[in-house]
């Protein structure tokens, strides 16, 4: 009942000794994630909690614990190098929570990982959670999720939580929820995640949450119209945002007609997507779409 992760994944946290890293590492463990290592340069040999070893490098951590996923809480000036370090150590799934990474730094990272056998979620994202697998690598509140067959993919962290809260309240469980991040340049796209949901026999339908800025939603609409066969509902926020003003996320800025919410809604509707009229209608719209 998941994409990207399952209960067998072995998680390490880069930046585990920092305030945010330590707090969320503990929450991931409490949710059920198999946390096997932490990495903080210069803190190797220490222990996180009662039994999680801390290493100086990701390569050391992988060699000694067989970690295969990494959650990154490294400050923005050092986060690009942290991602590359995880890639070079053979990590297959990386979620970078860090906000404020310069766009050109992320461009270099995205170019570096092209063609390599890994998935990067983020940066500036909430991470990934699969309730049925009791696996969480991120900052989302685990208690609002419930196992089920609806996939969620979003550019917004807080709207992901809102969507999940509504779905759970209606008894609609989730297979996997993925926050791809709100930066202009990021790792996995809507299309990457939708392809995985399309191929997942345990995901029956999808909620997608987009926002102003860029053309990621139009690209998703093109894919949906040709290759996606499952029911999908989409919310696009930022319709009243003034042009040229950044609204929250670094990528949420109208810089051309394609970046406007109305254009994104038009493209998705033409692809057969059910448009969610307002944030408070996420659960109800999906419920009507799937007849739940």
Cα–Cα dist 141/126, whole Å? 10
The residues, any chain, with a CB within 8 Å of residue 58's CB and separated by 6 or more, are 12, 14, 39, 67, 70, 85, 86, 88, 89, 91
pLDDT band at residue 212, thresholds of 50, 70 and 90?
confident
Is 35 in the same domain as 75?
A: yes
Catalytic choice (24, 143, 145, 249): 249
Q: How distant is the alpha carbon of residue 115 from its chain centre?
A: 20
Asked whether residue 241 carries a pLDDT value surpassing 60, the answer given is no
Give the domain range for residue 50: 1-124
The whole-number average pLDDT for the span 154-162 is: 94
| CATH classification at residue 268 | 3.40.50.261
Q: How many domains does the chain have?
A: 2
Is 288 in the same domain as 162?
A: yes
Per-residue pLDDT of 33-60, as tens digits, reads 999 999 999 999 999 999 999 999 999 9
Domain termination residue (choose one: 80, 100, 124): 124
129 domain-assigned: no
pLDDT band at residue 261, thresholds of 50, 70 and 90?
confident
249 is catalytic: yes
Is 3 in the same domain as 120?
A: yes
Is 68 in the same domain as 209?
A: no
74 domain-assigned: yes
134 domain-assigned: no
pLDDT band at residue 213, thresholds of 50, 70 and 90?
confident
Query: For the chain, what percent of residues have pLDDT higher than 70?
Result: 93
- pTM, 2 dp: 0.93
Per-residue pLDDT of 167-177, as tens digits, reads 999 999 999 99
252 domain-assigned: yes
pLDDT of residue 214: 82
Is 145 in the same domain as 106?
A: no
Is 161 in the same domain as 262?
A: yes
């Amino acid at each position: 009942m998941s994409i990207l992760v399952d209960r067998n994944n072995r998680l390490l946290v880069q930046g585990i000794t920092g305030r945010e890293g330590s707090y969320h590492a503990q929450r991931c463990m409490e949710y059920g994630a198999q946390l096997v290592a932490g990495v903080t340069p210069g803190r190797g040999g220490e222990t996180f909690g009662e039994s999680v070893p801390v290493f100086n490098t990701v390569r050391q951590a992988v060699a000694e614990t067989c970690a295969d996923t990494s959650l990154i809480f490294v400050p923005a000036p050092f986060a690009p190098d942290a991602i590359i370090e995880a890639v070079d150590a053979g990590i297959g799934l990386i979620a970078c929570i860090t906000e404020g990474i310069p766009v050109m730094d992320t461009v270099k990272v995205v170019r570096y990982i092209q063609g390599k056998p890994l998935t990067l979620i983020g940066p500036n994202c909430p991470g990934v959670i699969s309730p049925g697998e009791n696996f969480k690598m991120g900052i989302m509140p685990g208690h609002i999720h419930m196992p089920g067959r609806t996939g969620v993919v979003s550019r917004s962290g807080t709207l992901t939580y809102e969507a999940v809260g509504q779905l759970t309240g209606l008894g609609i469980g989730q297979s996997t929820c993925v926050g791809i991040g709100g930066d202009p340049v990021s790792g996995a796209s809507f299309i990457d995640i939708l392809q995985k949901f399309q191929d997942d026999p345990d995901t029956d339908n999808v909620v997608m949450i987009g926002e102003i800025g860029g053309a990621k939603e139009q690209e998703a609409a093109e894919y949906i119209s040709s290759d996606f066969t499952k029911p999908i509902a989409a919310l696009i926020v930022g319709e009243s945002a003034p042009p040229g003003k950044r609204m929250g996320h670094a990528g949420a800025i109208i810089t051309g007609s394609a970046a406007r919410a109305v254009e994104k809604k038009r493209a998705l509707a033409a692809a057969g997507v059910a448009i969610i009229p307002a944030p408070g209608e996420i659960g109800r719209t999906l419920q009507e779409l799937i007849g739940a």
